[in-house]
Structure 1
Amino acid sequence: MYDLGSVTKNVSRFLLNWLTRNLLAGVVVYSCFLPIKYYNYWFSWHVILCTLGMIPLMTEALMLFPSDELWTTQTTRRQRYWIHGCLFLLGTILVSVGNIDTFYFLEDGYHLYTIHGITGLISMILFILSIFLGLMATYSQYLKHYLRPVWFKLAHNFVGLLGYVVGVVSLCYAYYTDWFVFYTSKESRLIALIATILGTLWTINGSLMSAYSQIRALLNY
């Protein structure tokens, strides 16, 4: 006999995963269509590259590990680690190029004096740091004389998750920069903001559960 509670849980999580991907797909289309339609050389590439790096790539990198996720049922744990690493690395490259593009071409460094610019820079730095921590976590068995492997995994998890959350905050502030306000309506920005927040809250649930397990392992050591 089927466990009704388990079936209900699995179906609910499947629907939430599906809804999250659709919400964030809408965000990607919304954010990338505008800079293509109103193409403006370097600035359009900043929006496109940062959006693609943050949403489809970073999101899928974080959604790899929950036990009920589609990725999980079709790949081994080792394969998931490599896919996660490739997605995260590519996402970091796109975000970094998109940010450097803006920092280089924008006059007087104005971008760095806005909340959007500051949070974008912080998230980029955290992503880069998380890659190094991810490599240390991957080869943590060779570093166990210095720290337990779970410490490296927890550090990678925490820094990567923090970078993602800060990056999403930057994206949310981007909707209210002068450029977005000029080309979009108040209603469309509100819908994009809500979709981004809801999608993000569900995206990070797997990483939070993983961090919880890692913290418990440390406390029970």
Structure 2
Amino acid sequence: MAIKVDYGKLPINVTRFLLNYVTRFIFAGLFLYSCWIPFQYLTGWFSYHVILCTFGYIPLMAEAIMLFVGDELWSRQMSRKSKYWVHGILISVGTIFIIVGNALVFHYIEPGYHLYTEHGITGLVSMIFLILSLFLGLAATYSNEMKQFLSLRPVWYKLVHNGIGLLGYGIGIVSLCYAYYTKWFMFYNGPESRLVALVLTIAVSLWSINGALVSAYNQIKNLVS
């Protein structure tokens, strides 16, 4: 059977395809940039905090969110149910990494110190939202079973899960941006490289959520229609 190609949309699709994979390469570069010092000192607990939390957000969280972008070639070969499972696994593993990474800071640093820094506050808030998002994701997956406890349309669970998850991811990226300007990071990295990392982090993070924002818009339309 012949495959119909919409040549009018081809330039847009090619551009989005390239941007998706450029985003992935930049995320990989940002992860290595953030963790190249911790990789050299794996005996220190703080090294594991940096590696676990960074890897939890990029690439795991980012990939979980980009999974539902409509023009993703590899994910288009998967059924929607399979996408949900892969999404759930990536989000769960990423959240566990972030919880363990933050627990190291809470345990080894003077109690309460993390609440006096922008990096620490945003990291803690992000983690709380991500944990909530996990439970909401389960509620969305088993929305029919949830009717005996709370009579809501399934799209409500999906919308709230989407919104809380995006908040957790977005605040986590803000925490990562603040991390570039912590004393530890400034000691090992120059101002030029930190500025480039900041700009790239903001740019690719905004691009990574475009599919989730479209999904949220469609869910809102479904609710008000």
TM-score of the aligned structures, taking structure 1 as reference length: 0.96
> Are 2:52 and 1:49 aligned?
yes
Q: 1:101: which partner in 2?
A: 104
Higher helix share: 1
- 8 Å Cα contact 1:150/1:214 also seen in 2: yes
- 8 Å Cα contact 1:57/1:88 also seen in 2: yes
Please, which runs of 5 or more residues in structure 2 have no aligned partner? Answer: none
Aligned-partner Cα distance in 1 for 2:43–2:119:
19
> Are 2:169 and 1:154 aligned?
no
Which stretches of structure 1, 4 residues or more, deviate above 4 A after TM superposition? none
Q: Deviations over 1:21-79 (max 9, x none)?
A: 11111100101112123556111111000000011110110011111112322211000
Amino acid at match of 1:178: K
Identity rate, percent: 60
- Say which of 15, 19, 40 aligns to 1:16: 19
Please, which runs of 5 or more residues in structure 1 have no aligned partner? Answer: none
- Say which of 212, 222, 225 aligns to 1:217: 222
TM-score of the aligned structures, taking structure 2 as reference length: 0.94
Aligned-partner Cα distance in 1 for 2:119–2:145:
39
Q: 2:123: which partner in 1?
A: 120
Q: Deviations over 1:165-193 (max 9, x none)?
A: 00000000000000000011011101111
Aligned-partner Cα distance in 1 for 2:42–2:192:
22
Mapping of residues 64-213 of structure 1, within 5 Å: 64-144=67-147, 146-213=151-218
Over the residues paired in the alignment, what is the CA RMSD in angstroms?
Answer: 1.3
- 8 Å Cα contact 1:143/1:149 also seen in 2: no
Question: Following TM superposition, by how much is the alpha carbon of 1:202 offset from its aligned partner in structure 2, in angstroms?
Answer: 0.6
Question: Following TM superposition, by how much is the alpha carbon of 1:110 offset from its aligned partner in structure 2, in angstroms?
Answer: 1.4
Cα 1:111–1:40 change in 2 (3 A) is farther
